[in-house]
Amino acid sequence: MKPEILKISQISIDQSVVCILGSSHVPERLKLSKSETEYAEKRMKEKDEYVFINSYNKCTYLIRLKEGISQYKIREELRKTSYNLRKLIKDNSHPELVITSSDTYKGAVEDFAEGLVLSIYSFEKYKKKEEGKDKYPEKLLLDGDIDDSDIKWLVELTNAVYLVRNLINEPVNHLNATALAGEIKKAGDSAGFNVEILTKGKIEALKMGGLLAVNRGSVDPPVFCILEWHPENCFNDRPIVLVGKGIVYDTGGLNIKTGEFMSGMNGDMAGAATVTGVLYTAARTGIPLHIIGLVPSTDNRPGGNAYTQGDIITMYNELTVEIGNTDAEGRLILADAISYASKYSPELIIDIATLTGSAARTFGNQAIAVMTNADRKYIDLLEECGNDVYERIAELPFWEEYAESLKSDIADLNNIGAREGGAIIAGKFLERFAESPLIHLDIAGTEMLKKDDYYRTKNGNGSGLRLLSTFLKKIAANYLEKK
């Protein structure tokens, strides 16, 4: 269960406290004894990651910030420390835990709280409840000079991460495309953004050939969700459109995945979940931007009248595509959505998807692969935001030569190009369908993790949600500065 996050004005003598320190000096307001203070200061001078003091009526956790590293890495180290402390905190079963700081940067309290909240997430919906186990705090009480808007942002952003992780971790027998659309609608109703769900008949009328082709092997119908946050006070004249890949399960189709490659494929809709989470955050925090989310969704299976290698399909924008591999399905459904985005004349299109093994092999779980034809101001800001939340981006070249291998003898395009440069080639495929500037984010390496990467928990972790939410928040702030 996610703890409640509240702001307090003072600390009582018997409350358990996490205190983040910018020096080895222990503040008197923690009310430690002389011997406890001397012990703590000695340990911190020896550069221990944290010091734990178990007093008679409370517990105190002291964290000394690292020195000699950049500010964004200091913030990340603090989030990682919260992960390292989570088990000790759980073992002590605090109903409430105060988080405070002394002699450090503004925002340290929120950074630790964010890391802790994300560290203690677990997907236990289908596990039998066990009574009497040690528990995480039900409330995190934040002490210090913290703006109410920063508390609101922390609460809603972490709520969105939990929402996204829950969606990704659901098995497909509980979350097919139709059920995913239902969950997106629930999120919209809860947060205050609009959701329109297009069912198969409407998708056929729109002639979304990519989405319909991938769906042909499934017994479940496809859906296409249109999410919209359009506040009265929005700054942008043209919307920013987010597109998320919604493959609720990917077998590879007739080019079926082998060995362990099918494991975790219920998470192939992570892009769709992330777009939902970004719209949730924007609506709940009131980001003054017009934002549209597009989510094409289906599973990719080899049953029924499954599409085959060698098929020719006609996409929403009337380009024809030769199917070179049915396991390159994500780009087909994204392409329909990206071309559909043109009806909104967007300022920018951002798609996010677990798209290629190539991206995962190139960057592992350390960076989101980025390809773009957009103005550098967007990429510079995205990189800045990636450092802030430590969802770092790594840009790949987007040269026209990479599109050469997508040529087909019998259609406008092939859906699979050369093996070499596969992540870039997939991005170039999508670019053919974008009539506005495009940023393509491939989260194949950062999303589904086999083990915890600190507070980025194993399986679905919500990669890209904090990045894009922060990016949109800063775009709005930039608009405000120019007014």
DSSP string, 232-262: TT---SS-EEEEE-EEEEE--TTS---GGGG
| Residue 296, helix vs strand vs coil | strand
| Cα separation, 26 vs 476, whole angstroms | 39
Side-chain-side CA neighbours of 176 within 13 Å: the count stands at: 12
| Cα separation, 284 vs 231, whole angstroms | 11
* Phi, psi at 187, each rounded to 5°: -65, -40
Alpha helix ranges (H) inside 6-107: 34-45, 71-91
Closest alpha carbon to 60 in 47, 51, 71: 51
142 to 5, 90, 107, 111, 285: CA distances (angstroms): 7, 18, 11, 11, 19
Measured from the Cβ of residue 127, the count of other Cβ atoms closer than 10 Å reads: 8
323, 309 contact by CB (below 8 A): yes
Tokens found for residue 450: 């086999």
346, 305 contact by CB (below 8 A): no
Compute CA 454 distance to the chain's CA centroid, rounded to the nearest angstrom. Answer: 15
| Residue 355, helix vs strand vs coil | coil
Side-chain-side CA neighbours of 35 within 13 Å: the count stands at: 2
| Cα separation, 372 vs 398, whole angstroms | 7
The residues that are catalytic are: 257, 331
| Residue 317, helix vs strand vs coil | coil
Closest alpha carbon to 352 in 338, 340, 366, 373: 338
444, 436 contact by CB (below 8 A): no
Task: Compute the radius of gyration of the chain from its Cα atoms.
Answer: 24
Measured from the Cβ of residue 268, the count of other Cβ atoms closer than 10 Å reads: 27
| Residue 354, helix vs strand vs coil | coil
